[in-house]
Amino acid sequence: MKRSDIPTPYLMIKAITNSEWDCCDFAIIFISEDWKKEQQKRLENIKPFSDDYMLISMMYCDQSITFFKDDNEICPDSTDLLEDRIWSFVELNEETRGKLSVPENRITYQVFHVLTNGFGYYQAVGKHTSEEFWTAKFPLEKLIKNNTNLTN
């Protein structure tokens, strides 16, 4: 796995958990053309409410994400891979993805929050512990357009 300056189907993003015993360092979002279309619809859904300062976000069920933790083999330090960025496209194949270390929690209830400012983030919950996992916020408009100048 390595960072890519051009868009790929895989977005690596910083992630954290509130667990006292589990670990979560990053997440991988699978960005397909369908995902982009769905996010565009969601941005359009929230746009009429963007002036409502009391509205924080719209929440959607979304299974396009997997949470991971740093390990000693495939991804020893996600911070180094991201090079001080919050998110970056990565080159990744299914074999490598299958070898990445996941948190101990069985993660369920994955929710995607679309914010009124055009950003979004994922949130998930451990099935038996109710501990939370979430990603950093990221700009949806940048990701749904085929823009090769993607700095954050």
Q: What percent of the chain has pLDDT over 90?
A: 72
**Each residue of 64-113: pLDDT tens digit?**
999 999 998 888 889 888 988 999 999 999 899 999 999 999 998 899 99
142-149 mean pLDDT: 68
- What's the chain's average pLDDT? 91
CA 60, distance to chain mean position in Å, is 14
What is residue 151's predicted lDDT score, i.e. its pLDDT? 54
Backbone angles phi, psi at 47, to 5 degrees: -55, -45
Name residue, tokens 């983030």: 121
What is residue 83's predicted lDDT score, i.e. its pLDDT? 87
Of the pLDDT bands very low, low, confident and very high (cuts 50, 70, 90), residue 148 is very low
* Region of 13 on the Ramachandran plot (φ > 0 left; ψ -120 to 50 alpha; else beta): beta
**Each residue of 96-110: pLDDT tens digit?**
999 999 999 999 889
Q: What is the 3-state secondary structure (H, E, C) of the chain?
A: CEEECCCCCEEEEEEEECCCCCCCCEEEEECCHHHHHHHHHHHHHHHHHCCCCCCCEEEEECCCEEEEECCCCCCCCHHHHHCCCCEEEEECCHHHHHHCECCCCCEEEEEEEEECCCEEEEEEEECCCCCEEEECCEEHHHHHCCCCCCCC
38-59 mean pLDDT: 93
